[in-house]
Each structure stands twice: as C-alpha cells, then as structure tokens.
Amino acid sequence: MQTRIVHAIAGTIILISLLSGIYIDPNWFWLTAFVGVNMWIHALTDRCLMYWILDKLGIRNTKADCSK
C-alpha cells in the first residue's frame, strides 16, 4: 500500500510542477528535479524521504515487498 501511495504522490508532484513550470514560472522545474533526485537516492541507497514521512504518519506497508 505504501509503495502505491509514494508513486501516486511523486507522480502528482511531478505533474503539478511541470504544469506550473510551463504556465506560471520556469523555477517550478526545480521541484521536478528535487523529486527526481529523491527517486535516484531511493534507487541507490534504499532510503526514501516519503517512506519516512508516511511511517511517521502511521501508514505502513501492508504486504511484504522489496520496495522498503
């Protein structure tokens, strides 16, 4: 469950920042870059800021998988 939430949040942030970068101010593209860097950090180190935040909010994985 937590993995799907993280993917949904990351995708939403990316889409919002891309649209904001196109229609409001190009500096919004930095938010897209931030999300991308966090995804790379998770891929390389298996540490993810969003997983940590969701853990603190009490949302945990409901099934065993290799994403955490």
pLDDT in tens, 33-57: 999 998 899 889 988 888 888 888 8
Average pLDDT over residues 17-39: 95
Answering whether pTM is above 0.85, one says no
Q: Return the pLDDT at 15.
A: 96
Please say if the pLDDT value at position 7 is more than 90. Answer: no
The domain of 14 spans: 2-56
Let me know if residue 7 belongs to a domain.
Answer: yes
Let me know if residue 67 belongs to a domain.
Answer: no
Provide, rounded to the nearest whole percent, the portion of the chain with pLDDT above 90: 47
Let me know if residue 10 belongs to a domain.
Answer: yes
Let me know if residue 52 belongs to a domain.
Answer: yes
Please say if the pLDDT value at position 1 is more than 70. Answer: no
Let me know if residue 17 belongs to a domain.
Answer: yes
Let me know if residue 23 belongs to a domain.
Answer: yes
Let me know if residue 62 belongs to a domain.
Answer: no
Q: What is the CA radius of gyration of the chain?
A: 13
> Residues 68, 61: contact at Cβ < 8 Å?
yes
Let me know if residue 39 belongs to a domain.
Answer: yes
Neighbours of 6 (CB within 10 A): 21
